[in-house]
Chain A
């Protein structure tokens, strides 16, 4: 694979998690920020942050991407 797709996904959700967690923390206690009693920005922002970091960790653990495929090179066929 040319670019590990987990890198941009991890980066996106990490930044999104930081944004939502920070906003949720800054606005905690504000009326309308806790539907059904749950401070949802804070809670879900943290969950997204954890997901993003996990994706980045998985991308980092995998082997580095190989060289790009040559022009016209096709995928292997491991069965008839």
Chain B
């Protein structure tokens, strides 16, 4: 257990003072419900762009991607270079004109405008449940981490963090959340950059890391470059640590899950909708794509480094509960050693390492990045690193809470409980929903404890809820014949298909239950991620086909009713008012070019 110095606490207090101060300073600008939920549509593109990426930069990103880096190596970059950037470009160029131009206040409200009330209700309810779950996962991860590393009380940790998030959103609404997300963005980047620098320096740079991970890969039965090449070993699921072949990766992650999340999730879309113009709204995800494509170096590399760094190279002795007795073991699964690098084993209630069915020690990958932080950061910088971790938890939670309070107030409460009330009433309801959202998140934190990897769990949730949704939006925005009945039937069928596929399949080595197989094991996948990707593909295809069939069998709306909502019936956005280098198309070309280059460099 690590004891913090006064300087570390001073850094944390300084951060808390500023985030609360921002909320207090913005309180006087919140006069209407639109100020509270949409920032009065007055924020410039660079701010909404950084908030767009920061709202996604929660615990699942910093901790989960570090964990995946330790587990899968540089192939984790697929979550960025194919699993995020193309979708971010697509929403900026093609979908934002409908979201922003339709003047919808939320993604579910767009569904109401484009389709009908029942489609909006289905999306609003499922989204609200998903946001509080995600928020609860952030809280759970934070409480567990602070308890394990610093001995802080789980309950007190999550109550304080949730209380601070509640306070600044309650005071300043979405604007406060966005401003704090920009602060949190810089804090996370500047807090983790020295960690990567010190880690690489300790292992002899990138070439040293490649050499050490080659030993790790061969000991695990893979080719030497399996942890340091992103595409070279994707030909077959058994030849890479991810356990996925290229088609499942490209279709499941790169198309269905990625587009389902980035193009339809109100959590991120809400930031773009707060932009001060149509061009700014379209530029928001494109500006966000620049830091996003570089994040693998910030959040994945620490996990890879933690796997191979020498336990004796740090500034303090490893904590007893997570100490390592083996410095040379490339993989605990292969050798049975208690840990790999400084990644500790998972332990049971008595402190004994957990073992899998084959007798190998199960590593606690979620601790890879935090352990590296304790390993290299002295007092002072440790406070900065821990505060950056706190910031990631809080930004993720704030993103979920602001999306939840908007969907609840506009799409559920105003639509079904009390329509036609004065604006002040909805403003008050928004603040109440903020309190309720935080309270439900705290409750959700206590049910998020049974998964080995946070990212795997979130991908599973997205597969059920988001994967069919992109088929609905794609058809709704680009095929005017799509009907409300078709959209609703497609969404229901897609979600059911996801549940059925998950219930009939199981990852290798997993027990029947929450991991799948609860309807009988018909198919076995090499890894949990492979199962998740294919579940998403099945859900998307089902939704796509059912939506088309039902739409063709039901009456379409008149084209006049769909202007501003459907491609082909809406004038193309014109960006001549800004210099060429600020236009969305120019930004998109640069983003895609750099992304292709990154894929080639790490091929």
Contacts and interface: CB of A to CB of B under 8 A. Distances in A.
A2 B26 contact: yes
Contacts of B278: 77-79
Given A36-B198, A80-B101, A41 B378 contact: yes
Interface stretch (B73-81, B133-141, B308-316): B308-316
Classify the interface of chain B: helix, strand, loop or mixed.
helix
Contacts of B103: 74
B29 A19 contact: no
A59 interface: no
B10 A19 contact: yes
A75 B85 CA distance: 27
Given A5-B182, A20-B380, A79 B573 contact: yes
Contact of A38 (B21, B198, B314, B571): B198
B319 to A, nearest CB: 15
B381 A73 contact: no
A77 to B, nearest CB: 5
B47 A76 contact: no
Contacts of B313: 35-36
Interface in A25-47: 27, 32-36, 38, 40-41, 44-45, 47
Which range holds the interface residue count of chain A?
35 or more
Contacts of A78: 277-279, 577
Given A69-B40, A74-B34, A75-B275, A3 B574 contact: no
Nearest to B282: A79
B99 interface: no
A66 B35 CA distance: 16
A23 B377 contact: no
Contact of B11 (A1, A9, A19, A76): A19
A80 B405 CA distance: 29
A33 B378 contact: yes
Contacts of B236: none
B186 interface: yes
Given A3-B25, A9-B182, A24 B380 contact: yes
A46 B573 CA distance: 45
Q: Which of A11, A12, A76 has the most CB of B within 10 A?
A: A12
B42 A2 contact: yes
B31 A48 contact: no
A73 B22 CA distance: 22
B233 interface: no
Given A13-B190, A40-B198, A71-B31, A35 B21 contact: no
A57 interface: no
Contact of B183 (A9, A41, A44): A9
A36 B574 CA distance: 53
B284 to A, nearest CB: 12
Interface in B43-67: 43-44, 47
Given A72-B34, A80-B571, A23 B380 contact: yes
Contact of A20 (B18, B41, B381): B381
B277 A32 contact: no
Contacts of B182: 5, 9
A44 B313 CA distance: 20
Given A8-B183, A23-B379, A80 B190 contact: no
A38 B41 contact: no
Contact of A33 (B18, B44, B315, B570): B315
Contacts of A15: 14
Contacts of A72: 32, 34
Given A19-B11, A24-B380, A75-B40, A11 B18 contact: yes
Contacts of B43: 1
Contacts of B47: 1, 5
A16 B18 CA distance: 11
B122 interface: no
Contact of B44 (A1, A9, A20): A1
B41 A74 contact: yes
Residue with the greatest number of chain B CB neighbours at <10 A, chosen from A41, A47, A74:
A41
A73 B100 CA distance: 15
Contacts of A44: 194, 381, 384
B315 A77 contact: no
A80 B569 CA distance: 12
Most buried by B among A3, A34, A77, A79: A79
Given A9-B186, A12-B14, A75 B42 contact: yes
Contacts of B573: 79-80
Contact of A40 (B11, B186, B190, B194): B194
Contacts of A20: 7, 11, 380-381, 384
B470 interface: no
B48 to A, nearest CB: 11
Contacts of B175: 2
B190 A51 contact: yes
B227 interface: no
In the complex, the 9 A-B pairs of residues with the closest C-beta atoms, listed nearest first: A75-B41, A80-B571, A41-B380, A79-B573, A32-B315, A75-B276, A36-B201, A23-B380, A12-B18
Given A36-B202, A80-B572, 8 more contacts: A1-B47, A12-B15, A20-B7, A32-B378, A35-B198, A35-B202, A69-B29, A75-B40
18 contacts: A2-B26, A5-B182, A5-B183, A8-B21, A9-B183, A11-B18, A16-B14, A20-B7, A20-B384, A33-B378, A35-B376, A40-B378, A41-B379, A51-B186, A69-B40, A72-B34, A77-B277, A79-B279
